[in-house]
Structure 1
Amino acid sequence: MVAVWQVQVAAPNEEVATELARGAVEARLAAGGQVVGPLITVFWHLGEFGTGEEWQVILKTTDERYPELEKHLVQRHEWKNPEITAVPLAAGLAPYLDWVQRTTSK
């Protein structure tokens, strides 16, 4: 079975988040994605403490497609150092995981 990953990307607003999700799915770098928000974020950035509002994109991809997905997101994100993280899924419904693999296959 192919390893399926959940990728999370922070975005400054709903429109940017939706476009990041749409672009990744249209390019078949992710099988699907959800946009969640708004979220309150608390952070240190450039030596300063801050709070703000962000939106989160949650994408599903395979370990094979992750490097291309990451590159795609970085190229299209407006932040110079966007929050992009990924974790492998330990388990999932087999037909769903198969769908992710089929959808993102080259």
Structure 2
Amino acid sequence: MENYVQVSTTVDREEDAEKIARVLVEQRLAGCVQISPITSIYRWQGNVETAREWRLCAKTREDLCEAADRVIASLSSYSVPEVIVTPIIAGSESYLAWLDGELAGK
């Protein structure tokens, strides 16, 4: 099995989430990106903050993570964009075959 992963990030504007998702899919760095509204509570510059954000969850392969990270960094308005990579340890064969067909070749 290939090394499939989910790359997640957050942004503060829905428009930014849609733009990042579209670029990731158009460049074949993700087969699918899901966008969900969330509320985040975090410490930033010594203060506890609460913010409305949009989480992106991109399905991809491990070998495409660096390129996906560069896209996220270039399009995010955050000075420290969150990029978290989580391995997909199992999945339906048909979904993973579809995903692989939508991603950039090796």
Q: Give TM class, smaller chain.
A: over 0.9
Q: TM-score when scaled to structure 1?
A: 0.93
| Partner Cα distance (1:31, 1:65) in 2 | 11
Unaligned 5+ segments in structure 2 are none
Matches within 5 A, 1:35-46: 35-37=35-37, 39-46=38-45
The CA RMSD over aligned residues, in Å, is 1.0
Moved over 3 A (4+): none
Q: TM-score when scaled to structure 2?
A: 0.93
1:6 aligns with 2:6: yes
Retained in 2: the 8 A contact 1:74–1:82? yes
Work out the percentage of aligned pairs sharing the same amino acid: 27
| Partner Cα distance (1:105, 1:18) in 2 | 20
Aligned length, in residue pairs:
105
Unaligned 5+ segments in structure 1 are none
Alignment partner, residue 61 of structure 2: 62
Retained in 2: the 8 A contact 1:4–1:100? no
